[in-house]
Chain A
Amino acid sequence: MTSIPTGDFSQVVTATRVHRSLYTDPDLFELEMTRIWGQAWIFIGHESQVPNTGDYFTTNINHNIPVVMVRDKSGSVQVLHNRCGHKGAKVVEARSGNARGAFRCSYHGWSYRHDGSLLKVPNEAGYEGTGFDSTNPCYSMQPLAQVESYRGFVFATLSPYAPDLQTWMGGARDCFDNLCDRAPEGEVEVAGGVLRYEHQCNWKFILENLNDTMHPMVVHESIVKAAESYLEALPEDAVEQRKEAEIIPPFGASYEKFEASGITGFPFGHHYDGGKTSIHADYSVDPDYHAAMVAAYGEERTREIYAFNTHNVLFYPSLTIKCAVQNIRVIRPISVDRFIVETWSFRLKGAPDSMLQRTLLYSRLINSAMGMVGPDDLEVYRRAQEGLASPSNEWVEFHRQYGKDEQREDRTVGGGTSDLDMRTQYQAWQAYMEGSIFNEVENA
Chain B
Amino acid sequence: MNRERIEEFLYREADLLDRPDLDSWMNLFAESGTYWMPATEDQKDPINHISHVYDDRVMMEIRRRNFIHPRASSKEWEARCSHVIGNIRLLPEVGEDVITVTSNQHVVVWYRDEQRLYACRVTHRLQTDGEGFKILGKRVDLINPEAPQQSLIIYL
Contact = CB atoms under 8 A, between A and B. Distances in A.
Interface of A: 95, 192-198, 200, 218-219, 221-223, 225-227, 229-231, 234, 242, 244, 248, 340, 343, 345, 353, 356-357, 360, 363-364, 368-370, 372, 374-376, 378-380, 382-383
A368 B74 CA distance: 14
Nearest to B40: A193
5 contacts: A200-B150, A227-B66, A360-B49, A364-B53, A376-B73
Contacts of B70: 222
* Residue among A95, A223, A340, A356 with max Cβ neighbours from chain B (10 Å): A223
A375 B153 CA distance: 8
Nearest to A241: B58
Given A195-B50, A372-B62, A375-B151, 9 more contacts: A192-B49, A221-B69, A227-B66, A234-B58, A244-B59, A357-B48, A369-B149, A370-B153, A372-B66
Interface in B62-96: 62-63, 65-66, 69-76
A95 B76 CA distance: 36
A301 to B, nearest CB: 29
Contacts of A196: 146-149
B48 A360 contact: yes
Contacts of A226: 62-63, 65-66, 69
B47 interface: yes
B48 A370 contact: no
B58 A223 contact: no
A373 B153 CA distance: 11
Contacts of A193: 39-40, 49-50
Given A195-B39, A226-B66, A375-B74, A340 B148 contact: yes
Given A196-B146, A221-B71, A369-B52, A230 B65 contact: yes
B25 interface: no
B102 interface: no
A382 B59 CA distance: 26
Contacts of B52: 195, 364, 368-370
Contacts of A368: 39, 50-53
A223 B66 contact: yes
B69 A364 contact: no
Interface of B: 37, 39-40, 47-54, 58-59, 61-63, 65-66, 69-76, 112, 146-153
Given A196-B146, A198-B148, A369-B151, A363 B50 contact: yes
A196 B49 CA distance: 14
Contact of A345 (B37, B50, B147): B50
Query: 9 tightest A-B contacts by CB?
Result: A226-B65, A222-B69, A222-B72, A369-B149, A379-B74, A196-B148, A226-B66, A375-B151, A198-B148
* Residue among A227, A229, A383 with max Cβ neighbours from chain B (10 Å): A227
A230 B56 CA distance: 14
B123 to A, nearest CB: 18
A194 B147 CA distance: 10
B65 A364 contact: no
A234 B61 CA distance: 12
Nearest to B72: A222
B49 A198 contact: no
Contacts of A222: 66, 69-72, 75
Nearest to A378: B151
Nearest to A365: B59
Contact of A379 (B69, B149, B151): B151
Nearest to A196: B148
Contacts of A345: 50
Contact of B74 (A248, A364, A376): A376
B61 A230 contact: yes
A86 to B, nearest CB: 30
A230 B58 contact: yes
